[in-house]
Amino acid sequence: MNITISRKTNPMMKIVKENKNAVDIVVDFLSNGKLVFMATETVYIAAVDATNPRAVLKLISFKNRPFGKPFSIGVTHINMAEKYVVLNKTAKDLYKRFLPGPVTVVSTGKHTVASGVEAENGTLGIRIPDYQFCLEVIKKFGKPITTTSANASYQRRPYKLTDILDNISEKQKRLIDLMIDAGELAHNEPSTVIDTTLDDELVILRQGDIKLKDKNEVLSRSEENTQNIAKELWQKYEEYSGKRAIVFCLEGEMGVGKTIFVKGLARAMGIKEQITSPSYDLLLHYSLLTNHQSLVHIDTWRMIEPNSEFKQLVNDNLINQKSVIAIEWANRIRSEIRKRADDAIIVWVKIKYAKNLTDRLISWGNL
Amino acid sequence: MKILAIDTSCDETAAAITFDTKIVSNKIWSQAVLHASFGGVMPNLAQRQHQARIDWVIDCAIKNSELKIKNLDAIAVTVGPGLGIALGVGINKAKELAIKYNLPLIPINHVEGHLLSPFANAKELNAKFPMLGLVLSGGTTMLCLVKNIGDYEILAETSDDALGEALDKGARLLGLGYPGGAILEKIARLGNPNKYKLPIPLINDVVKNRFSYSGLKTAFVRLFSTIKDPNKQDVADLAASFQNVAFEHVLRVLEFQSKNQKFEIKNLLAGGGVINNIELRKRLRLLAKKHDMRVSFPYTKKLNGDNAGMIGVTAFLKIKNEKLKMKNFYDYDSVDRNPRLKL
């Protein structure tokens, strides 16, 4: 694979093909607090020494996200994990069942990693990558590394190095010290993230290829979290973008956060404008100049005859133009949406209030 | 200057004749009128079908003005923000008439219309710039610095729901129907605004430069779900508590901004449908008085909600103050809808 990199990248940045000899180079870079990109069985990750505070700050700066948003770490074995977290029975069972593999298990942290890696509530996500090169690096390094995906926040999933380089700023490029090129990876989902810190039940925070329930359902703990889940859902369907219309049909009670979800969706699509509620205007249209894509945000809440009004608003142009359409209170126009099932990707998203005040259960499917 | 103004930005089909800042006639289509003139109930869908009623509304506006269309000086039309297909109806009709009678066609921003609506009937024209301008409606929640006619700086906008929308949603939740903002106001008068504690939006913002109503809406949904079988008094208390906090948020942002301008502000303009609320007007007046400002509302209630009178007045004020040349308004093709037009 050829990689084209603009001259403004870190002049010291090295790109090395993934092979046995590269392990020592990576370990050397990690030991010196450097930022290294390498492959796993899911996506390319941005690895730093998870116990080095300065390296973690560098990573935060690259990811372009606020301090306090946690990073998962990679280890080689359950015994290694126990140095950093308390494993309860639920967690141990998950390790046995799924690891190594695309599952991140969240447990109570022992505060032995650098500040900024654990979540604000002291939890820490750990996974054991099912990827030989990565495991060898961690084994030789002897310390955990961060396994966060190598893209900046709200950018496309990194399956090849150009996915990353084409979507970051010059400033971000200068932060990268080493890239291990493993070519284009299979387009697997990011890992499934499971929280085991609640005694009574397993909580899925991100749904990857491994499913623990018979439906797709994750828990959001904040508005920012809901936006992030919208982004992840977008990334599951992004490959259809420009080829088919994609319709996100939102259901859920008043105030549950449907517009918040669309804010996350817009952000993931690269829309910079403020997304506001379309309740009054019925339809708001946002265009992306870069790739001729557009987001059409519709709300049926105050429509009197929603089916026929929707038909007037969304003439088949929007479907033919392969727009992304987000519809709030979509349950009011189920029959109209069904009629378009052959021409568009239809994703039903249900948001429900949950136990804690800011918690929301978000489920989705192509029903 | 005699202007025919047309506004079809969202639900209302409206036309007006204005003479400088004077409103000569101001017609707004309503279900009741239609009922009478068509002799039957139209399907609900028609509430947003401007095509069917635009001619009738314009004819009424002209007839009521006792003027002839050929004696007019210009046509003004709302080009945004609003719903695209609705805006298109008004714009197409305005173009058709402009071509037929060879009149200049002036594109107008609907929000600017609300903002300048207190200038209708001229009395306010000697007010001093810069002023503050507040527009509160179903689709807009915005505070700006009015440096002059046509020269505005946004100080705060909503980052999610509009105030009018929040009030309507609160009302629907309480079972008061839609649009329920006006009923909510009536019922709130019977309630205790301090009965229930609701969070004042963005109370921790040190620099108050935005509005937000989605968090309050969510808190209200949650509060309501904890009250079993609410009786009449409960509903009144809920309405009063909700409205109180919703207004408190506006007042706090307004107070912060009025104290933090480079120039001394003596005037506040306030327009938009929510300005119909008497409690809100009272509180705006009190705040204005405290800061030695004068607050100006439109002279009649009809100018608060969506209407075309304000569009005609705005067209006149812009032509006059921005010294625009009428000959520049004959390029009809350049007038196009802009659903998300900014101020």
Confidence of residue B31 (pLDDT cuts 50, 70, 90): low
For residues A211-230, b (16+ Cβ closer than 10 Å) or e, as one string? eeeeebbbbbbebebbbbbb
Binding site as annotated, residues of B for substrate:
135-139, 168, 181, 185, 277
Q: Residue B11: its pLDDT value, please?
A: 86
Is A313 within 8 Å of B159 when comparing Cβ atoms?
no
Sign of CA dihedral B286, B291, B297, B299: positive
**Chain A touched by B106 (CB under 8 Å):** no
**What HEC string does A213-264 produce?**
CCCEEEEECCHHHHHHHHHHHHHHHHHHECCEEEEEEEECCCCCCHHHHHHH
Is B84 within 8 Å of A283 when comparing Cβ atoms?
yes
Distance of residue A310 Cα from the nearest chain B Cα, in angstroms: 11
Q: What is the pLDDT of residues A179-218, one digit of tens each?
A: 999 999 999 999 999 999 986 678 899 999 888 887 899 9
Confidence of residue A85 (pLDDT cuts 50, 70, 90): very high
CATH topology of domain A221-365: Rossmann fold (3.40.50)
Would you state the structure tokens that stand for residue B118, as one six-digit string? Answer: 């207190």
| Helical spans, DSSP H, in B189-331 | 214-225, 232-259, 278-290, 309-321
Is A259 within 8 Å of B160 when comparing Cβ atoms?
yes
Contact A179, A47 (CB under 8 A): no
Residue B170, CA atoms < 13 Å, CB-side half-sphere = 37
Is A255 within 8 Å of B222 when comparing Cβ atoms?
yes
For residues B83 and B231, give the distance between their C-alpha atoms in angstroms, rounded to a whole number.
38
pTM of this structure: 0.88
DSSP A157: P
Of A254, A280, A353, the CB nearest to B217: A254
Is A259 within 8 Å of B221 when comparing Cβ atoms?
no
Question: Could you tell me what percent of chain A has a pLDDT over 90?
Answer: 73
Which of these ranges, A164-168, B155-159, B325-329, has the smallest mean pLDDT?
A: A164-168
Contact A246, A296 (CB under 8 A): no
Please state the rounded mean pLDDT for residues A100-112. 96
For residues A238 and A275, give the distance between their C-alpha atoms in angstroms, rounded to a whole number.
20
Instruction: Give chain B's domains with CATH numbers.
Output: 2-115+303-334 (3.30.420.40), 129-297 (3.30.420.40)
Q: What is the pLDDT of residues B249-282, one digit of tens each?
A: 999 999 999 999 999 999 999 999 999 999 999 9
- The correct CATH number of A14-181 out of 3.40.50.300, 3.40.50.2020, 2.30.30.60, 3.90.870.10 is 3.90.870.10
Q: What is the pLDDT of residues A264-276, one digit of tens each?
A: 999 999 999 999 9
Exposed / middle / buried, residue A123 (Cβ in 10 Å: 0-12, 13-18, 19+): middle
* B residues 226-255 lying closer than 8 A (beta carbon) to A: none
For residues B171 and B54, give the distance between their C-alpha atoms in angstroms, rounded to a whole number.
31
Helix (H) / strand (E) element for B151: namely strand B151-158
pLDDT at A66 over 50: yes
Domain boundaries, chain A: 14-181, 221-365
Of A255, A276, A302, the CB nearest to B158: A276
Binding site as annotated, residues of B for Fe cation:
110, 114, 306
Exposed / middle / buried, residue B22 (Cβ in 10 Å: 0-12, 13-18, 19+): middle
Confidence of residue A318 (pLDDT cuts 50, 70, 90): confident
Please state the rounded mean pLDDT for residues B31-52. 60
Q: Residue A6: its pLDDT value, please?
A: 46
**Chain A touched by B128 (CB under 8 Å):** no
CA separation (Å) from B50 to A51, A310, B165? Answer: 65, 16, 22
Mean pLDDT, chain B, as a whole number? 93
**Chain A touched by B173 (CB under 8 Å):** yes
Residues in B touching A304 (Cβ below 8 Å): 44-45, 47
Of B169, B217, B340, the CB nearest to A284: B340
Sign of CA dihedral B106, B107, B109, B114: positive
Give Cα B115 distance to the centre of its chain.
8
The ipTM, to two decimals, is 0.92
Q: Residue B52: its pLDDT value, please?
A: 84
For residues A301 and A332, give the distance between their C-alpha atoms in angstroms, rounded to a whole number.
8
Distance of residue B125 Cα from the nearest chain A Cα, in angstroms: 32
Instruction: Mutation target for B interface from A226, A227, A254, A283: give the one with most B CBs within 10 A.
Output: A254
Residue carrying the six token digits 């797709």: A216
**Chain A touched by B159 (CB under 8 Å):** yes
Q: Residue A7: its pLDDT value, please?
A: 45
pLDDT at B47 over 70: no
**Chain A touched by B152 (CB under 8 Å):** no
Helix (H) / strand (E) element for B161: namely none
Q: What is the pLDDT of residues A170-184, one digit of tens each?
A: 899 999 999 999 999
Exposed / middle / buried, residue A283 (Cβ in 10 Å: 0-12, 13-18, 19+): buried
Contacts A–B by Cβ distance under 8 A: 80
Closest residue in A to B9 (Cα) is: A281
Q: What is the pLDDT of residues B67-109, one digit of tens each?
A: 999 899 999 999 999 998 899 999 999 999 999 999 999 999 9
Q: Residue B51: its pLDDT value, please?
A: 86
Of how many residues is chain A composed?
367
Confidence of residue A103 (pLDDT cuts 50, 70, 90): very high
pLDDT at B122 over 90: no
Confidence of residue A39 (pLDDT cuts 50, 70, 90): very high
- Helices and strands (H and E) in chain B: how many: 10, 11
Q: Residue B148: its pLDDT value, please?
A: 94
Confidence of residue B36 (pLDDT cuts 50, 70, 90): low
Binding site as annotated, residues of B:
110, 114, 135-139, 168, 181, 185, 277, 306
